[in-house]
Amino acid sequence: MYSVWNPWHGCKRVSAGCLNCYVYRIDKAFNKDSSIVEKTKSFDYPIKKDKYGEYKLSVSESPVYACLSSDFFIQEADEWRDDIWKMIHTRSEIDFRIITKRIERFSECIPENWGDGYDNVTVICTCENQKMADKRLPVFLELPIKHREIIHEPMLESIEISSYLKSGKIEKVTCGGESGENARICNYDWILNTRKQCIMNNVSFEFRQTGENFIKEGKLYNIPRKSQISQAEKADINFSALKPSSCESKISKQRQYEESDDYSSDNPFNSILLQLSKSPLHSDIILSRREREYYKNNHDDIYKETEDIVIKYLLHIMSKDNGHIKEWGHPAYTAMKATGCCCRNCLYKWHNIPTNRKLTDREVKYITDLLMEWMKRDMKYS
């Protein structure tokens, strides 16, 4: 659950993501000029009380998204913002979330007692394309903020943000397409690419909605507004960042990995293996006694054999004949199941490798190396 608080209304377009801004779209229907920024009747809603002296805005309505019909840092609201900060500070038990395309104005808009940030404020920087990511994120990372997130919505192209995620300062990335008439296209590959970057950097990820015009595996779908969120949910690709100290299970692989030297190293497969270890479908899979024996006795050959199996089952595009693996006996088959490499659909979902073409040599190597890493850890910890 969440709620929305719009202390002012109206905005001015600042970048490509604003082209089909929903504030303008909705105001147009009421013949209202969206470029005029005005205080609303809800301006002081967080501190309004009822006849019993209780706040009308209850803790159960947290988090509260502030300023969704404007931009929190818009210049026209400068003289009102100090009052807003006071309310946010007063209601420290409520989490406030501020989404902005004007992060460059942040430093001139914070209150005197801001320090290194209020605990109850998350600032969310919108980057709809690579240009805006490279312009806004370097500024964003340097600001005194306790909780930072990124949002790609409307996502207009594939966006590389790994170098920013590596900072460890970003808590979450959210992606989504554009809604409404003239909505621009959003491609599922872009979403999966961002998801992969998040997993590799252990940053939470959410695919919030598809938008109106959505491409998946080269096919364009027109998705009605009422289904845009549910379609994204069906993709089931959200990721929660794993915190090494917070695992409760004493016997799970997740805990074993977290406590192991492997996890504390820079191994590039750490994030994906940890994520897989949280999946009910994959976490219980372990090598059988016979497979373990085989692994021990054929150690010198196992890389080549694994590579051959990857090529045999996964190289080509998906067809009826090369769907899920059907063979067992070699540890690589079990590793494929455990790592989301058992078919081209799973490869697409877990590793963002498209189904509609042959694997590249690099992808074959990536999968083989991943399977080897999983086998090595399973031998060590199971």
Residues near ligand SF4 (CB under 6 A): 11, 13-14, 17-18, 21, 23, 70-71, 101
Nearest-approach distance from CB 35 to ligand SF4, in angstroms: 9
Nearest-approach distance from CB 274 to ligand SF4, in angstroms: 35
Nearest-approach distance from CB 40 to ligand SF4, in angstroms: 14
Q: What angle do CA 276, 282, 285 make, to 5 degrees?
A: 125
HSE-up of 187 (CA within 13 Å, CB side)?
A: 13
Q: How far is CA 179 from the centre of its chain?
A: 19
Nearest-approach distance from CB 8 to ligand SF4, in angstroms: 11
Closer residue to ligand SF4 in complex, CB, 77/335: 77
Which uninterrupted H or E stretch holds 364?
helix 361-381
Closer residue to ligand SF4 in complex, CB, 69/270: 69
Contacts of 285 (CB under 8 A, 6+ apart): 334, 337, 338
Tell me whether residue 49 is exposed, middle or buried, using C-beta atoms within 10 angstroms of its C-beta: 0 to 12, 13 to 18, 19 or more: exposed
Tell me whether residue 65 is exposed, middle or buried, using C-beta atoms within 10 angstroms of its C-beta: 0 to 12, 13 to 18, 19 or more: middle
Closer residue to ligand SF4 in complex, CB, 66/341: 66
Closest residue by Cα to residue 125 from 69, 172, 62, 160 = 172
Q: How many residues does the chain have?
A: 382
Closest residue by Cα to residue 140 from 127, 129, 156 = 127
Closer residue to ligand SF4 in complex, CB, 63/180: 180
Closer residue to ligand SF4 in complex, CB, 15/238: 15
What DSSP designation does 187 have? E
Closer residue to ligand SF4 in complex, CB, 95/128: 128
Instruction: Give counts: helices (H), strands (E), the chain.
Output: 15, 12
At CB < 8 A and 24+ separation, what contacts does 45-53 make? Answer: 45/5, 45/7, 46/5, 46/87, 46/88, 46/90, 46/91, 46/94, 47/87, 47/90, 47/91
Closer residue to ligand SF4 in complex, CB, 17/340: 17
Q: Name the packing angle between helices 331-338 and 302-314 (round to 10°).
A: 60
Nearest-approach distance from CB 23 to ligand SF4, in angstroms: 5
Closer residue to ligand SF4 in complex, CB, 35/90: 35
Beta-bridge partner residues of 9: 38
Closer residue to ligand SF4 in complex, CB, 17/177: 17
Nearest-approach distance from CB 206 to ligand SF4, in angstroms: 19
Contacts of 375 (CB under 8 A, 6+ apart): 287, 295, 302, 306, 331, 332, 335
| Cα-Cα-Cα-Cα dihedral sign, residues 97, 102, 105, 107 | positive
